[in-house]
Amino acid sequence: MQAHSQPPLLTPQIPAGDEEKVAAIFSAIEQHVGFVPDGLRLYSFSPTLLQNFVGNIGYFNSGERIPPKLMAMIRYLVSSRANCGFCIDMNEGFLSNMGLSLDEIRAARSNPEAAPFDEKDKTLLRLALKSVGEAGSVTAAEIEAARAQGWSDRDIFDAVVQATSNRAFNMVLRAFNIERHGVYS
């Protein structure tokens, strides 16, 4: 994938009066990730959407129900299919930091079955990916297969929402030419 050469179409402007709210959210992100990704900087146009988006990220990354490594792989593969360089790079970094090799991570891009997960996790991964690429073709048998692997209906719902939410985020970033981190540097 080539580096994106177009400048971003929008430069984030924090609404007057919301500077402290956005600064607090960005501070929390920086403490957790080490920096504020440009994709999240874009959301500073709407502090409420930023807060909700960051809350969703926290929920999905909590590991409370679905392992964070699986959630990151869902985001990574959805982003790969959407050709969103920013999210591909970000999630590749997360997966690498979680102990996966770049070869393992990148092999899953062309073949999700190569993802280094057990069959239980691959069942949910396949369902999440299908929900984005072929939403109308998800079957009761696929839902039942996920249940048979031990996933609850909530887990199935969460994985599908993570995949489809990530796809929406990919489209927002691509719409405004946020293809790589550093465009707002």
Whether 119 contacts 125, CB under 8 Å: no
| Nearest one of 77, 9, 13 to 50, comparing CA atoms | 13
The reported pTM is 0.88
Q: Which residues contact 27 (CB under 8 A, 6 or more apart)?
A: none
Vertex 56 angle, CA 185 and 143, to 5°? 130
**Owner of token pair 């990148």:** 106
Q: Mean pLDDT over residues 14-19, rounded?
A: 96
Q: How confident is the model at residue 5 (pLDDT cuts 50, 70, 90)?
A: low
Q: Mean pLDDT over residues 130-144, rounded?
A: 93
162-177 per-position pLDDT tens digit: 999 999 999 999 899 8
Q: How many CB atoms lie within 10 A of CB 14?
A: 18
Query: What is the pLDDT, as a whole number, of residue 85?
Result: 87
**Owner of token pair 């960005």:** 26
Domain ranges of the chain: 19-60, 68-175
Q: Which residues contact 19 (CB under 8 A, 6 or more apart)?
A: none
Whether 69 contacts 98, CB under 8 Å: yes
Is the pLDDT assigned to residue 28 strictly greater than 50? yes
Query: What is the pLDDT, as a whole number, of residue 57?
Result: 87
Residue 83 gets the label, from left (phi > 0), alpha (psi -120 to 50) or beta, of left
| 26 or 34, higher pLDDT | 26
**CATH superfamily of the 68-175 domain:** AhpD-like (1.20.1290.10)
User: How far is 35 from 26, CA to CA, in rounded Å?
Assistant: 8
Q: How confident is the model at residue 64 (pLDDT cuts 50, 70, 90)?
A: confident
Q: How confident is the model at residue 134 (pLDDT cuts 50, 70, 90)?
A: confident
Report which secondary-structure segment, H or E, holds 107: helix 102-110
**Which tokens in the block code for residue 97?**
């930091």
Is the pLDDT assigned to residue 2 strictly greater than 60? no
Q: Mean pLDDT over residues 8-14, rounded?
A: 93
User: How far is 98 from 11, CA to CA, in rounded Å?
Assistant: 32
67-116 per-position pLDDT tens digit: 999 999 999 999 999 998 889 998 999 999 999 999 999 999 999 999 99
